[in-house]
Amino acid sequence: MKKIFGFWRKKGNGSVSERPGDDNIPKHVAIIMDGNGRWARKLGLPRIVGHRNGMKAVKRATIAADELGISVLTLYAFSTENWKRPKEEVDFLMSLPQEFLALELEELIQKNVRVRMMGHTEELPEHTISAMEEAIERTKNNTGLILNFALNYGSHREITECVKDIAREVKEGKIQPEEITQDMITSGLLTGELPDPDLLIRTGGELRLSNFMLWQTAYSELWFTDLYWPEFGREQLFAAVLEYQRRTRRYGGLS
């Protein structure tokens, strides 16, 4: 038996024994996709092989989320801190959106998936931005699952920029400081029109948020697994949602 935080599963690639019921499906699931490099190292492979296999896990998770009727799937693809990695690895990571969408965009369109991106585009290479813009444009009228890529995203920067915007409005006399509300901050974030995540999943065995959606996940249910991201698939998403359905969300109150 191999431990996955919150439940046990048998080794192997068999399907989960129980499919989540249709009631109480989380509307928004966010995933910190961690462990590509360690998965590759475990197998004696270059780190970039781990990132490429992580792309396959993105497809599996997207298909499973769509199957369950999840409305939004947000994937932490590249953080504002990931620029600290070796240039060769960063360049490869910046090529993955183009590679993934070249392979999968037509199927995403057929499945009525709408591609979205949140992050700070100033530092991104033109080819990365172009690939994302094409996917966003071609899927903008789709009405199914929103596949939201967090690319060059960092919550500290996001909140800081939101505060600056509000400060400008105060300076210009458009609002008074006492008129600032939580809803105003929420709507000023990069997730403005999206619901907050109901469920946050992190792979790779680490137990931290890593500057990911710190405001939005204030009351998210957290689910951690020691499996590396390239090992993640339908079974693991189903297990996380099943665990979510067993929990009682009290938001500081009583059940």
Q: Which residues are catalytic?
A: 34, 82
Cβ atoms 87, 45 nearer than 8 A: no
Q: Which residue do the tokens 């109901």 mark? A: 198
CA distance readout (Å), 194 to 72, 146, 186, 206: 8, 9, 10, 26
Q: Which residue do the tokens 């504002």 mark? A: 80
How much of the chain is in helix, strand and coil states, percent to nearest 5? 45, 15, 40
Residues 6+ apart with CB under 8 A from 52: 96
Q: Which residue do the tokens 């500081």 mark? A: 252
Angle of helix 87-110 relative to helix 47-68, nearest 10 degrees? 30
Can you read off the two tokens belonging to residue 9?
Answer: 């599963």
Single-letter code of the amino acid located at 241: V
Question: What are the start-end ranges of the H helices in 123-202?
Answer: 126-139, 155-171, 182-188
| CA nearest to 124, candidates 159, 80, 155 | 80
The SS3 assignment for 2 reads strand
- Residue 237: DSSP 8-state: H
